[in-house]
A and B are shown apart, each in its own frame.
Chain A
Amino acid sequence: MSGLFGSLSIALSGLSVSQQEMETSSNNVANANTPGYSRESAETAAGAPVVYGPLSIGTGVVLQKIESLRDPILEIQLNQETQQQSSLNTQLGQLEQLQTQFSSSTSGIGADISNFFNSLQQLAPDPTNLALRQSVLTAAGTLATDFNNASSSLQTQASNLNLSVVEDVSQVNTLTSEIASIDQQISSLQDANEEAGPLVDQQTNLIRQLSGLIDVDVVQTGAGGIELTTSSGTTLVAGGQSFALTTATGAGGNQQILAGAQNITSTLTGGSLAGTIAIRDQEIPGVTGQLDQLAAGLSTALNTANKTGFDLNGNAGGNLFTTPPTGGTGAAAAMQVAITDPSLLAASSDGTVGSNGNLAVLAAVANQTVVNGNTPIDFYSNLVFQVGNTTSNTSADVDAFTQILQQLQDQRGSVSGVSLDEEASNIVQYQTAYQASARVVSTIDAMLADAVNLGIDAAVQ
């Protein structure tokens, strides 16, 4: 349209677009601290010009869209790194708890082993002394008790992890159902060709939270929809529907994670669930297994040694410890001293009361490779090393991944973060533009009045 009314509508477009730009900035400022918010930018363009012969007249300004500024590649990276960091962090917490069993070199199973063998040496100068014999049994009892306690602590830790699994799965389900419903909303908006910025931000934030729990791959299907699967292919969200995971007690009493009828517990590779499962199903059984081996090896070797000797009553010696279970599993939890009467300790090698010959046989077990090709102390110190090393490595990994995450967050912030300074300067700009457009309107109004009054003096002001 041409003429003054054309100018008026152009000025009006300026006013309305400035208003909308102001709204956008104001929205950014309001959401400056909203987690996962991507700043919005009002994209304006000059209106399509109208052509009158050789003249091309502009039609003002048009707000094309309000775009959320985000980098999809960064989001993918952030999700992946979050999954790894979360898994490792969970593992680190558990490992730090686990290693407290092995913190002291002067107490604990290692020191107990040393003390036990030393008590045998101390008996040698006076083998009929009942008090010294009792010391041997007491030392044996302390060793067995510490094995029991260590095994029991590890069991408790594993059981507590079962509670974590159930909780985490429940949270996963809550998140996937929220993501699915937002997905539906986004799809319907995209269909209507509307901008779904804040909804996408919300969904992205939920997916990030989900990444903290479980390994998740995001696939963009057409029309703004997404599909979520675990990295091994289990579907979590598809076609706007979420598929809940369930937990069930499996063999051995541990919670298993099921997708429908399929057990996916061992297929998870990221998030705190994967970390929890790695500790519960691998690390803890590994350490427990080694303790079992040590307990079984010691018990068996000492029992054999005791049986080659004679007790104070001249009878052949029997078991010093209860026989460990066949195969060794559960030996640490079950270890007990089998005799309470100190005179039953088989110190004598020839049946005479004062002989100490068999004490040397018992004591020699300390230097025999009775546990998986190692002496008892070597085996134990190796176990301590492994636990400490795993913990230390995991800690270093967590630090590395945390740094990576920080860098990615920084990058994301530089793309999507709201800068109050920027918004302030934008607001000044928009305000000025609004003022200018308003001034144009009032000028045109005056001109219109002049036009109406053409030739007549001040009939309209």
Chain B
Amino acid sequence: MRVNPNPMPDLLASLNQTELAAQQAALQISSGRSVNEPSDNPTAAALLIQNNDEATFNAGYLQNLSAINGQLSTADSTLSSVGSALQQALSLGIEGANGTLSDSDRAAIVNQLQGIQSQIISLANTSYQGNYLFAGTASGTIPYAANSADPSGVTYQGNTGVNQVSVGAGYQIEINQPGSQLFSAAGTNNVFLALNNLITSLQQNSGIETAVTSLNTASSYLSAQRVFYGNAMSQAETQTTYLNAAKLQIAQQQTALGGADMAAAATNLSQAQTDTQAALEAISKIGQDTLFDYLK
């Protein structure tokens, strides 16, 4: 069978192939990625989009957690201070229930209690990064204003709204408790009312023991509400640990999908360069001699 006397196009095509392989390997090494174009691996390219989405949200959730942590721990320590102040008020109240006290003694106790009252109002109006912590979702409004006309001695100016923050896929944490649920709850749980009643009872020297008992009830209620913040912070911590682990997995998956296998790419490059060399030598040796060179 007569062979094609011009093998050059075929040889050049082979050379083209080896050079292409070398270029591709070099690109993988320099970019560190095995998927530089969607056509390199269409499935991986699509999955990398999803992976990036997960990574973005993961980082966002972690940032949210650290943002709300400040808020939650500030609220928690504020409530702790309020609790201490209420304990102090209770001691004063018990002292004031002592029937042997003079009017001036009782007046002195009333004075101290009024100081505590102002302190608690001020604590209830704590703000964090420019937002009032206990005003519900009316975070620009001062939660409590002193109001001598009101039996509780204060007016609540906030609302009952609760904000939630996403800290995971489909996982949201409530991040605040409105003052109306903490300090001025209904009936016997109303801390301000109980405190003001104690003050009034001492001023009128009647029903002091009942007032002390009521204050105790309200104070216990407030302690129980503090659990909310403890729980929220604990949930946040657990979620942070989980997200950090997930972050590693997401990063690993990204490498698995689109990262270049450096060792393999380096080997491929070296192989392609060897192949190119061999092809060049073969081309240079083939078909340069014809019979014409040997005719006299």
A pairs with B? yes
Chain A residues packing against B (C-beta within 8 Å): 95-96, 99-100, 102-103, 105-106, 110-111, 113-115, 117-118, 121-122, 124-128, 348, 350, 352-357, 360, 363, 377-378, 380-382, 384-389, 391-392, 395, 402, 406, 409-415, 417-422, 424-425, 427-428
Contacting pair A121 B166 (CB below 8 A): yes
What are 15 A-B pairs at a CB distance below 8 A?
A95-B39, A96-B39, A105-B51, A110-B49, A122-B67, A352-B159, A355-B137, A378-B50, A385-B42, A385-B43, A388-B45, A406-B13, A410-B4, A414-B1, A422-B5
Which residues in A have their C-beta under 8 angstroms from that of B6? Answer: 413, 417
Interface size on B, as a range, is 35 or more
Contacting pair B290 A114 (CB below 8 A): no
B23 lies within 8 A of chain A by Cβ: no
Closest to B51 in A: A105
Contacting pair B49 A126 (CB below 8 A): no
B217 lies within 8 A of chain A by Cβ: no
Which residues in A have their C-beta under 8 angstroms from that of B57? Answer: 114, 117-118, 121
Closest to A33 in B: B6
Contacting pair A105 B45 (CB below 8 A): yes
Given contacts A117-B57, A121-B57, 6 further A-B contacts (CB under 8 A): A105-B45, A105-B51, A111-B56, A118-B59, A377-B53, A388-B37
Taking the closest CB of chain B, its distance from the CB of A111, in whole angstroms, is 6
Contacting pair A352 B1 (CB below 8 A): no
Which residues in B have their C-beta under 8 angstroms from that of A125? Answer: 64, 67-68, 71, 163, 165, 175
B245 lies within 8 A of chain A by Cβ: no
B61 lies within 8 A of chain A by Cβ: yes
Taking the closest CB of chain B, its distance from the CB of A146, in whole angstroms, is 14
Closest to B43 in A: A385
A111 to B137, CA, bound (A): 32
Contacting pair B46 A385 (CB below 8 A): yes
Smallest CB-CB A-B distances: 8 pairs? A388-B38, A354-B139, A413-B4, A388-B42, A424-B291, A419-B5, A105-B48, A355-B137
Whether A392 contacts B52 in the complex (CB less than 8 A), given A352-B161, A414-B1, A414-B2, comes out as no
A115 to B53, CA, bound (A): 8
Contacting pair A122 B163 (CB below 8 A): no
The segment from B78-86, B128-136, B202-210, B269-277 that touches chain A is B128-136
Contacting pair A424 B290 (CB below 8 A): yes
B258 lies within 8 A of chain A by Cβ: yes
Whether A355 contacts B161 in the complex (CB less than 8 A), given A96-B37, A385-B46, comes out as yes
Contacting pair A354 B140 (CB below 8 A): yes
Whether A381 contacts B49 in the complex (CB less than 8 A), given A128-B140, A352-B136, comes out as yes
Which residues in A have their C-beta under 8 angstroms from that of B149? Answer: none
Which residues in B have their C-beta under 8 angstroms from that of A409? Answer: 4, 9
Whether A356 contacts B10 in the complex (CB less than 8 A), given A100-B37, A114-B52, A387-B38, comes out as no
Closest to A105 in B: B48
Contacting pair A99 B38 (CB below 8 A): yes
A92 to B53, CA, bound (A): 30
Taking the closest CB of chain A, its distance from the CB of B170, in whole angstroms, is 9
Closest to B128 in A: A126
Contacting pair A114 B64 (CB below 8 A): no
Contacting pair B37 A360 (CB below 8 A): no
Contacting pair A420 B292 (CB below 8 A): yes
A127 to B159, CA, bound (A): 16
Residue-wise interface mask of B (30-48) relative to A, using a CB-CB cutoff of 8 A (1 in contact, 0 not): 0000001111111101111
Interface centre among A355, A391, A412 (most CB of B within 10 A): A355
Contacting pair A355 B5 (CB below 8 A): no
Contacting pair B10 A406 (CB below 8 A): yes
Which residues in B have their C-beta under 8 angstroms from that of A406? Answer: 9-10, 13
Contacting pair B290 A421 (CB below 8 A): yes
Contacting pair A126 B135 (CB below 8 A): no
Cβ-neighbour of A99 out of B39, B46, B138, B175 (below 8 A): B39
Which residues in B have their C-beta under 8 angstroms from that of A386? Answer: 42
Which residues in A have their C-beta under 8 angstroms from that of B138? Answer: 352-354
Taking the closest CB of chain B, its distance from the CB of A419, in whole angstroms, is 4
A198 to B154, CA, bound (A): 111
B284 lies within 8 A of chain A by Cβ: no
Residue-wise interface mask of B (195-213) relative to A, using a CB-CB cutoff of 8 A (1 in contact, 0 not): 0000000000000000000
Closest to A100 in B: B37
Closest to A101 in B: B38
Taking the closest CB of chain A, its distance from the CB of B119, in whole angstroms, is 25
Which residues in B have their C-beta under 8 angstroms from that of A111? Answer: 49, 52, 56
Closest to A402 in B: B13
Which residues in B have their C-beta under 8 angstroms from that of A389? Answer: 38-39, 42
B249 lies within 8 A of chain A by Cβ: no
Contacting pair A118 B56 (CB below 8 A): yes
Contacting pair B53 A110 (CB below 8 A): yes
Which residues in A have their C-beta under 8 angstroms from that of B159? Answer: 350, 352
A415 to B4, CA, bound (A): 7
Taking the closest CB of chain A, its distance from the CB of B117, in whole angstroms, is 26
Taking the closest CB of chain B, its distance from the CB of A133, in whole angstroms, is 14
Residue-wise interface mask of B (210-234) relative to A, using a CB-CB cutoff of 8 A (1 in contact, 0 not): 0000000000000000000000000
A421 to B6, CA, bound (A): 11
- Chain B stretch 248-274: residues in CB contact (< 8 A) with chain A: 258
